[in-house]
Amino acid sequence: MTEQSGASGLFPQEGDADGKAPPCAMVLFGGAGDLTKRLVVPALYNLAVEKRLSDNFQLVGVDLVSKSSQEWRDGLAGSIKEFVGAEGEYEINKFDEAAWNWLTQRMSYVQGDLNDPETYRSLGAHLAGLDRNCGTRGNYLFYLAIADRFFCSTVAHLGEASLTKEEGDCWRRVVIEKPFGHDLASAKHLNSEVLKSLAEHQVYRIDHFLGKETVQNIMVLRFANGLFEPLWNRDHIDHVQITAAETVGVERRGKFYEITGAMRDMVPNHIFQLLAMTAMEPPISFDADAVRAKKTEVLEAIRPFDEISALKDVVRGQYGAGSVLGAPVQAYRHEPDVAYDSNTETYFACKLMIDNWRWSGVPFYLRTGKHLTRRTTEIAVRFHQAPFTLFRGTDVEKMNPNWMVLRIQPDEGISLEFAAKQPGPTVKLSTVSMDFAYKTYFKMQHGTGYETLLYDCMTGDATLFKREDNVLSGWRTVQPILDAWEKNKPADFPNYASGGSGPAAADELLARDGRYWRPLV
């Protein structure tokens, strides 16, 4: 079978004329887990509401927990109703019982140990029955909603059971959640092991950030508007800031976070994907491989860090006690399952350069952190300031900077900040803003960020998924930082108060260049 690729879900490759995905059985490894309840099944419910799933769709849960198919359905019902009733980013009117019933009629459960080959034989027999009785046509989508330590063995067992083998017109795909490796060596090993049982076109490395409409809109903003793309280069842009700030702490994920930290958790995946879409060259088409090749190209153009630059141009921080959104919170080192002298970072910032023609000399500043003053994810593009010459002899003291801000969450939209004259007899400038908000122009559905991605998996569109070279390029960039940190332990943790904007060293990082972070407040 040849690889099927195409543009992001707007142009489905294998779906029906009415936009429905093709028939398939989706197998959820980790069917009783948290990811399934909070994100994957709610996303499938939304697709059912929108009538984007095939009438021959089937959902199979696989987990070690012993339960019947009915018990599995009943256990998920409460989560769906909580999801619908939640105060999320978008409004939703009511629980659609007909759509939920439609989905539950297509749900079944297989109990089994992921390390036991018998589990995969039982699953294969179950799937063969769905092919015969429910018209799934041998199309299988395996979703690994499980701990990353099971990725390699689960894929190997699927291969040994011939469940990844594509014959005739049927397709077999595997969705792998992050973390896709913990460093460059582990990412290479995981890729190598996975590709023993699968071809690259069968692997869908998922990043839910790329399922957000505002992230996908970055390419449309740049390449569908003649106004912006001619300005998108070193001649007009002074620098770019990418921020992913959270108000939450590690909560009860101490065990996970102690071995991961802010950089591994956010930078090689989420933030580098935002960077790639912001900085990539125009692809020749929206074909999946054309888009992903340009993403990889720009990541490979990042100037390599060495030990000196990894310590000079990178900031790490860890939150202390403080107050977030008016409530007192404890320091990271006092969180459950965290070492009393932990050196794990909860904040990361860096300056990096992209050594290509478009971006030569333009710094990109990245930051992410927990327990900060405000939750926001945005890409802020700062344009060069206009010359001051014309305004000599007026009351204008300095030129106002121009910003284009792409808000990814929570208030999705785009704003353009520019200078305007204040009313009055003399020339005084003020910064004003033109603002586009998604919720004002479009009907936004309450979503998890997985809806588009799951639909793309079923239609064979890999545009929004990371290819092997894309993953390795991200890890290759941050590996020197990991190595430098291993040799140079922080001496000042905790170094920022919860509820603030991060450590002072992050402000100093930009101040050295005569720049400043956009305020989080």
Residues carrying an active site annotation: 270
Nearest to 283 by CA among 291, 271, 292: 291
Pairing verdict, β 172-176 and 203-205: parallel
345/107 Cα distance (integer angstroms): 41
Tokens representing 459 are 């239609």
Beta-bridge mates of residue 378 = 243, 407
Phi, psi (degrees; rounded to nearest 5) at 314: -130, 135
Number of neighbours of residue 398 by Cβ within 10 angstroms: 9
387/380 Cα distance (integer angstroms): 21
Q: Which residues contact 15 (CB under 8 A, 6 or more apart)?
A: 21, 22, 458, 459
Residue type, 205: R
123/126 Cα distance (integer angstroms): 5
Number of neighbours of residue 394 by Cβ within 10 angstroms: 12
Q: Which residue has the tokens 């239609």?
A: 459
DSSP state at residue 332:
G
> CA separation (Å) from 437 to 246, 308, 407, 440, 492?
21, 42, 9, 5, 41
Q: Are 272 and 264 in contact (CB under 8 A)?
A: no
52/22 Cα distance (integer angstroms): 9
Q: What angle do CA 342, 368, 515 make, to 5 degrees?
A: 120
Counting every residue written for the chain, the total comes to 521
DSSP state at residue 385:
P
* 184-197 helix and 468-487 helix, angle to the nearest 10 degrees: 150
Laid out side by side, the sheet with 203-205 consists of 107-111, 58-63, 25-29, 140-144, 172-176, 203-205
> CA separation (Å) from 140 to 10, 25, 157, 271, 351?
22, 5, 15, 31, 43
Q: Which residue has the tokens 């419910």?
A: 45
Beta-bridge mates of residue 327 = 324
Under DSSP, is residue 353 helix (H, G, I), strand (E, B) or coil?
Answer: strand
DSSP state at residue 237:
E
- Convert 139-156 to b/e letters by CB count within 10 Å (16 or more is b): bbbbbbbbebeebbebbb
Helices then strands, each counted (H, E), the chain: 17, 17
